[in-house]
Structure 1
Amino acid sequence: MDLPCAERDAALSRAFEFLGRRWNAAVLGKLANGPAGFRELSRAIDGISDSVLSNRLSSLAVAGLIVRTVEEGPPVTVSYALTPAGHALTPALNQIAIWADEHLAD
Structure 2
Amino acid sequence: MATQTAAERREDARQRYNAYVATCPSRKLLDTLSDKWVSLALTALAGGPLRYSELARTIAGVSQKMLTQTLRTMERDGLVSRAVTPSVPVRVDYRLTPLGEDLMPLLEAIKRWAEIHMEDVEAAREAYDRCSDSEP
Aligning the two structures, in what range does the TM-score lie when normalised by the shorter sequence?
Answer: 0.7 to 0.9
Counterparts in 2 of 1:17 and 1:42: CA distance versus 1, 3 Å: same
- Tell me which residue corresponds to 2:115: 101
**Pair 1:16-2:30 in alignment:** yes
Q: CA separation in 2, counterparts of 1:77 and 1:20?
A: 29
Asked if residue 40 in structure 1 is aligned to residue 62 in structure 2, the reply is no
CA distance in 1, matches of 2:28, 2:116: 25
Shift of residue 69, structure 1, vs aligned partner: 0.2
Separation in structure 1 between the aligned mates of residue 19 and residue 115 of structure 2, nearest angstrom: 25
- Structure 1 CA distance for aligned equivalents of residues 112 and 50 of structure 2: 24
Query: Which has the larger Rg?
Result: 2
Give me the TM-score of the superposition, normalised by structure 2.
Answer: 0.65
In structure 2, what is the Cα distance between the partners aligned to 1:25 and 1:17?
11
Does residue 29 (structure 1) correspond to residue 24 (structure 2)? The answer is no
Distance 1:101 1:16, change over 3 A: farther
Shift of 1:95: 1.5
Between Structure 1 and Structure 2, which shows a larger proportion of helix residues? 2
Structure 2 letter corresponding to 1:21: D
Aligned partner letter, 2:78: G
Matched to 1:42, the amino acid is: A
Quote the residue 2:85 is aligned against: 71
| Aligned-residue RMSD, C-alpha | 2.5
Given the superposition, is the C-alpha separation of residues 89 and 8 from structure 1 closer, same or farther in structure 2, using an over 3 Å criterion?
A: same
What is the aligned residue count?
105
* Structure with more contact order per residue of length (Cα contacts < 8 Å, sep ≥ 6): 1
SS of equivalent to 1:48:
coil
Structure 1 runs of 4+ with >3 Å offset: 1-4, 6-16, 101-104
